[in-house]
C-alpha cells in the first residue's frame, strides 16, 4: 500500500505524488538560483501541443531586488503566509503558437499545457525536499502591468516555493488548515466509455 502524508493511494503509484502537497508554513530560508532552475528544468520537459512550450515563469527570490514587488502582487491572504516563502513565481502562457507554414495561430491548449509544466515544477520541487504551493489569489490586473506581460499572454497562477517548517510559523488562524488535502476517488474522475 502506498502511503505518505496521511494519504493512501488506491493504486500503486510512485509515492512522490502523495508526498507533493501545498503547505503554507515556510521557513523563510534562502533558495539558490541553481535549485530554482532545476525546478524550471523539470517544467521545461513537459509535453505541449505542437511542442509549442507556451509556459513562461517570472520569478523573484527572497531578499532579492524583485521580492517586495512580487509579494505585493499576491492578495492579502496569500501575502500573510507566502511572505516566508523562498521564491515567488508567476506562471504565464502564450495564447498563440507558431506552426510551420501557418504562422501564429490561436492555441487551444496553452493553459492546459502550462498546467502540465506547473505540475512538473511542483513534483521536482518535492523530489528536492522543497514545496511549491500554487495560488489563484493573486492581483491579475496589477501583474499584467507591473511585470510588463506582453499582449497575447495569460497570467495563469502564482506559486510560492519554500521549505516546510512547523505549523507554528503560521498565523494562528491558518494552523488548523495546515494538512495535506484528500481527493475524490478514482472512480469519480475516470469513466469508461463516456458520461
User: Integer distance in angstroms from the first to the last C-alpha of the chain?
Assistant: 30
Give the footprint of a second copy on residues 60-79 (CB under 8 A).
60-61, 64-66, 69
Please state, in angstroms and rounded to a whole number, the distance separating the CA atoms of residues 68 and 62: 9
Q: What is the DSSP letter of 149?
A: P
Residue nearer to a second copy on the CB measure, 148 or 173 = 148
Question: Over 83-136, what HEC string results?
Answer: CCCCEEEEEEEECEEEECCCEEEECCCHHHHHHHHHHHHHHHHHHCCCEEEEEC
> Of the candidates 27, 56, 80, 164, which one interacts with a second copy according to CB under 8 A?
56
What would the grid cell of residue 33 be? 538560483
Going by C-alpha positions, the residue among 83, 64, 86, 63 that lies closest to residue 73 is: 83
Give the footprint of a second copy on residues 35-54 (CB under 8 A).
36-38, 40-47, 49-51, 53
Stretch that binds a second copy, among 23-31, 75-83, 167-175, 179-187 (CB under 8 A): 179-187
Please state, in angstroms and rounded to a whole number, the distance separating the CA atoms of residues 68 and 163: 19
Residue nearer to a second copy on the CB measure, 102 or 168 = 102
Task: Assess 161 for contact with a second copy (CB under 8 A).
Answer: no
Residue nearer to a second copy on the CB measure, 150 or 168 = 150
Task: Assess 117 for contact with a second copy (CB under 8 A).
Answer: yes
> Of the candidates 127, 139, 167, 174, which one interacts with a second copy according to CB under 8 A?
127
Task: Assess 176 for contact with a second copy (CB under 8 A).
Answer: no
Give the footprint of a second copy on residues 3-32 (CB under 8 A).
7, 9-14, 17-18, 20-22
Going by C-alpha positions, the residue among 93, 84, 92, 88 that lies closest to residue 70 is: 88
> Of the candidates 75, 116, 174, 175, which one interacts with a second copy according to CB under 8 A?
116
Amino acid at each position: 500500500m502506498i502511503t505518505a502524508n496521511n494519504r493512501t493511494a488506491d493504486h500503486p503509484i510512485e509515492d512522490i505524488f502523495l508526498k507533493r502537497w501545498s503547505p503554507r508554513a515556510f521557513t523563510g530560508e534562502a533558495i539558490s538560483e541553481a535549485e530554482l532552475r532545476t525546478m524550471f528544468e523539470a517544467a521545461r520537459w513537459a509535453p505541449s501541443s505542437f511542442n509549442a512550450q507556451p509556459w513562461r515563469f517570472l520569478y523573484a527570490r527572497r531578499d532579492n531586488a524583485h521580492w517586495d514587488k512580487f509579494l505585493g502582487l499576491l492578495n492579502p491572504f496569500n501575502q500573510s503566509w507566502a511572505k516566508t516563502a523562498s521564491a515567488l513565481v508567476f506562471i504565464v502562457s502564450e495564447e498563440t503558437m507558431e506552426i510551420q507554414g501557418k504562422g501564429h495561430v490561436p492555441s487551444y491548449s496553452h493553459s492546459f499545457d502550462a498546467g502540465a509544466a506547473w505540475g512538473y515544477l511542483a513534483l521536482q520541487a518535492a523530489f528536492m525536499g522543497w514545496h511549491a504551493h500554487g495560488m489563484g489569489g493573486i492581483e491579475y490586473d496589477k501583474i499584467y502591468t507591473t511585470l510588463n506581460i506582453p499582449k497575447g499572454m495569460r497570467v495563469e497562477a502564482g506559486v510560492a516555493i519554500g521549505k516546510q517548517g512547523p505549523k507554528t510559523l503560521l498565523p494562528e488562524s491558518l494552523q488548523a488548515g495546515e494538512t495535506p488535502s484528500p481527493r475524490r476517488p478514482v472512480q469519480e474522475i475516470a469513466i469508461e466509455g463516456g458520461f
